[in-house]
Structure 1
Amino acid sequence: MHQPATILRPSAPVAIRIRRLVSLALVHAVLIGGAVFMLLPFVFMLTSAIKPPGEIFEATFRLWPRQFYGWQNFDSALSTAPLLRFLLNGLIVCGGILIVQLLVAIPCAYALAKLKFPGRPVLFSLVLLGLCIPVQAPSLPLYIAFAELGILNTYLSMMMPFFLSVFAIFLFRQFFKSYPDEIIQAARLDGVGEFEIVWRIVVPSAWPAIAAFSIFSVVAHWNDLYWPLIVVSDTKLATPPLGMMYFADSELGSNYGALAAGATIITAPLVIAFLIARRHFIAGITMTGIK
């Protein structure tokens, strides 16, 4: 008796493998598309930095200019404004803010994570509420206070409002919550004080979280224009974003080639720092539960 032909179907493992490959291809396509979209402004900045003024705003976009004009643009950027001084100011401001933020936030986060005292939930709730307050909200009272103290137009006036970072307290608290209590209890039994436990035992294991927050802090304050624009009027104290304003000329207009070259110079340190610390940054984000 004639039997009906059987329909050949792929085995279950092969079908699952195909579905996984398709899903991975779609995910990578979306990620690559997002990366290209995010990188387009940087590509435009780099290409503009090596183009003559006549080619920057042409209708057709070219990655490589017909006439290489990079040396002239970078020379104009370095001669128009003291970019190296602006970079030094940014390093001083960002470094000073980061050091004080770590010195303040790490003990606070440890206390919220590992110490039991009355009012701890209330204090942590205040930290969460502090994350909701925009930086611009207290700018007017801070400016009046600094004017009364006579510290406007100084490095301290640019750094002081950011010495306390509620985001740092929250980030480190999430990391310290996962630190083993047994190690801390053993240190206490050996007579080690709480501050010594924090700085000699807990902090050495928290370098991924510290690296992650350091990148957040440096990028935020390196690119900050709002607060330095308010409290600084001396060119010698200008930070990199504030220094970029010197490329605008009310009579001749902006030199966009030199502007792009200057933006490249002040962006390069952030890119290099991130590439060096990217592994610690990713580890810190995953270990603290901030996703």
Structure 2
Amino acid sequence: MLRWLLVAVAVTASLFPFYWMMRTSLAPTDEIFFAGIDPLPSSLTLDNYVRAWNEAHLGRAMLNGGVVVLGILALQLFTCIPAAYAFAKLRFPARNLLYGLMLVALLVPTQARAVPMFLALSQLDLVNTLASLIVPFATSAFGLFLIRQYIVTIPDALLEAARMDGLGHLSILFKLIIPLARPAILTFVLFSVFAHWNDYLWPLLVARDPGLYTPPLALAVFQNAELGIDYGALTAAAAMITVPVLVLFLFVRRRFVAGLSGGELVG
């Protein structure tokens, strides 16, 4: 009973911000701020959602966000999976040194790389383009590390048998490594999608044209220094941009847990 009580308290604390976001987004403007305890507004309205969709051009922003996320993800999978296989199963000069340098890259926060990346893109005249939102994240040290750690657990005897059957590295990668490492790959997919769908700092630096705004930038339209923050429209927009990643997580959650737990699928 005590264990389930603690779980219930933890779940309630975790879900309360989402509940309050939905409550605020569905409440009339004059009922967003109130005194006392009022779990539900006296009436529900979709006006905040209509205003958020129209004023923030949320459809265009979500389309931009989808293009950016999928572009980054495709490049990261294209670079991380073969590199992870090489570091996990192949022998080549300076492998340990290169892997160590890759681990060092994990210690460098994105914010520390923002200025040099911005200067490089400025020299290439790529600022304020779709490429500036995608190219700097073409690979991921975290993704390489996560997938490599999973590939290490694949028995070498299985790969030796594949080589004896005449399979080359490319065939082994597509026919064995990728199917067996699918939980780790899907785990990284979720991390990548969540990170870049919600990224605010980098698009703020390079996307100056409103036509390039991603969802987090679109939400900023409801923050006005003179008029204050339009909490109703802001929470409605936040609810709408939360739905796609929430649906994605619900579809792949079992594989996500398996990737974090070392490969064992859970119910």
Answer whether TM exceeds 0.5 for this pair.
Answer: yes
**Residue type of the partner of 1:122?**
L
Which stretch shifts more, 142-151 or 198-207? Answer: 198-207
Is this contact kept in 2: 1:171–1:288, CA < 8 A? no
Distance in 2, matches of 1:75 and 1:186, equals: 59
Compute the displacement of 1:288 (Å): 5.7
Q: Note if 1:96 corresponds to 2:74.
A: no
Which entry has the higher C-alpha Rg, 1 or 2?
A: 1
Partner of 1:153: 128
Compute the displacement of 1:208 (Å): 1.2
DSSP-derived class of the 1:98 partner: helix
Q: Where in structure 2 are there 5+ consecutive unaligned residues?
A: none
Q: Note if 1:193 corresponds to 2:168.
A: yes
Of residues 27, 31, 36 in structure 2, which corresponds to 1:60?
Answer: 36
Return the TM-score normalized by structure 1. 0.87
CA RMSD of aligned residues (A): 1.5
> 1:77-126: per-residue Cα shift (whole Å, max 9, x none)?
11211101111111111111111111100111111111122222222222
Return the TM-score normalized by structure 2. 0.94
How many residue pairs align between the two structures? 264
**Residue type of the partner of 1:269?**
P
Partner of 1:31: 7
Compute the displacement of 1:270 (Å): 1.0
Q: Kindly report which structure 2 residues correspond to 1:1-291, keeping only aligned pairs within 5 A, or say none.
A: 25-68=1-44, 70-287=45-262
**Residue type of the partner of 1:112?**
F
Compute the displacement of 1:143 (Å): 0.8
**Residue type of the partner of 1:78?**
W
Is this contact kept in 1: 2:183–2:263, CA < 8 A? no
Is this contact kept in 2: 1:174–1:288, CA < 8 A? no
> 1:2-58: per-residue Cα shift (whole Å, max 9, x none)?
xxxxxxxxxxxxxxxxxxxxxxx3333223222211211111100001111221121
> 1:247-270: per-residue Cα shift (whole Å, max 9, x none)?
123443222111111111011111
Distance in 2, matches of 1:270 and 1:143, equals: 28
Q: Where in structure 1 are there 5+ consecutive unaligned residues?
A: 1-24
Is this contact kept in 1: 2:61–2:218, CA < 8 A? yes
Distance in 2, matches of 1:27 and 1:117, equals: 50
Distance in 1, matches of 2:245 and 2:192, equals: 11
**Percentage identity across aligned positions?**
42
Which stretch shifts more, 198-207 or 129-138? Answer: 198-207
Distance in 2, matches of 1:172 and 1:72, equals: 45
